[in-house]
Amino acid sequence: MIRFTRRAFVLALAALLPMTAAQAADIKERTLKFAFQNNKGHPQEMGAQKFAELVAARSGGKIKVKLFPGGQLGGDVQTISAVQGGTIEISVLNSGILQSLSKEFAVFDFPFLFANPQEADAVTDGAFGQGLHAKLAPRGLVGLGYWDLGFRNITNSKHPITRVEDIAGLKLRVIQSPIYVDIFTALGANPTPLAWPEVYSALEQKAVDGQENPNTTIRTAKLNEVQKHLAQTRHIYNPQSLIFSKKLWDTLSADERKIITDAATEATAYQRQVSRQQANEALEDLKKAGMQVTEIAPAELQRMRDKVKPVVEKYSASVGAETVKTLYAEIAKVRK
């Protein structure tokens, strides 16, 4: 007669019970750090939260994603380096900032490139956007998708902007990227590159006169407290790259990679929807908060486009004529 100890009986019984997909999969217990610049309540943070929830659910709770919003772990430049090194596993940031790793990403900061977010989605989700993300692998990053930040607008504490001459002389904070410096130099401003965590205090202390960001970012960062004027210039549309550390990616099992990629795809769709819903709401909230909002007449927008044409030409040459030609051809397809 075979005798079972209590432990042996429990183990034998457990072996007969069906396993969940997560239990059966090759998944290790791990915690991933997800760092980004915007604050809680911003569509960027909401997308990150959705991603974290999806990863936890699909891994059976084994993979946890810890969020670090508001630039807690440093600005974008520092975060990219940390993701490459594997000390931060995930981030999301303006795709154009990645031009420091692959020059082609500069095209996503071309002024007045996209007419609407749907054009951007078609380009980033298609062969062009996926091809750019593929260029990140040799630089230690994996591109998981493109999120929406929206169209950028100019705020300042000095005066309303209704024409290009009103930008002249303003000391404006810009992203730490050469093309932003060149764009606002061409428009007559005095561009000042600053990491995002430094911006509110710089505006509050009058170290800079203004900055430029989408309305949702202006609202969640409460820049209306230190800025009076908001001009709807819509000068750049920002897709954002969701990036993952290749150093960690190369150690993940196929099951773990699928969890991450599937969660990224679903979170991307959610984030875009939330971001676009909030864009108009943010503008109304900023008006109610006392900001003076000006719309720019089509003729004045054309004057701005004319001012920055030399910048587009300069970066088209450095990016490569073939890349720029392909990009504009993709946009033309969407518009047809």
Q: What are 48-106's pLDDT values in tens digits?
A: 999 999 999 999 999 999 999 999 999 898 999 999 999 999 999 999 999 999 999 99
Name the 3-class secondary structure at 155: strand
Q: Name the pairing type of β-strands 210-213 and 153-156.
A: antiparallel
Give the pLDDT score at 190: 98
- Residue 21's pLDDT band, with cuts at 50, 70 and 90, is low
Its pTM stands at: 0.85
Q: Would you place residue 11 in the very low, low, confident or very high pLDDT band (cuts 50, 70, 90)? A: very low
In Å, how far are 24, 114, 316 from 321, measured between CA atoms? 50, 18, 6
Q: What is the mean pLDDT of residues 99-120?
A: 94
pLDDT band at residue 177, thresholds of 50, 70 and 90?
A: confident
Domain boundaries, the chain: 30-335
In angstroms, the CA 336 to CA 333 distance is 5
The share of the chain scoring above pLDDT 90, in percent, equals 88
What is the average per-residue pLDDT within 13-20?
46
| pLDDT score recorded for residue 22 | 57
pLDDT on residue 336: 86
Mean pLDDT to the nearest integer, 290-303: 96
CATH for 30-335?
3.40.190.170
- pLDDT averaged over every residue in the chain: 92
- E strand or H helix at 50: helix 43-58
Q: What is the pLDDT of residue 280?
A: 84
- Spell out the residues 6+ positions from residue 327 whose beta carbon is closer than 8 angstroms to its own: 107, 123, 128
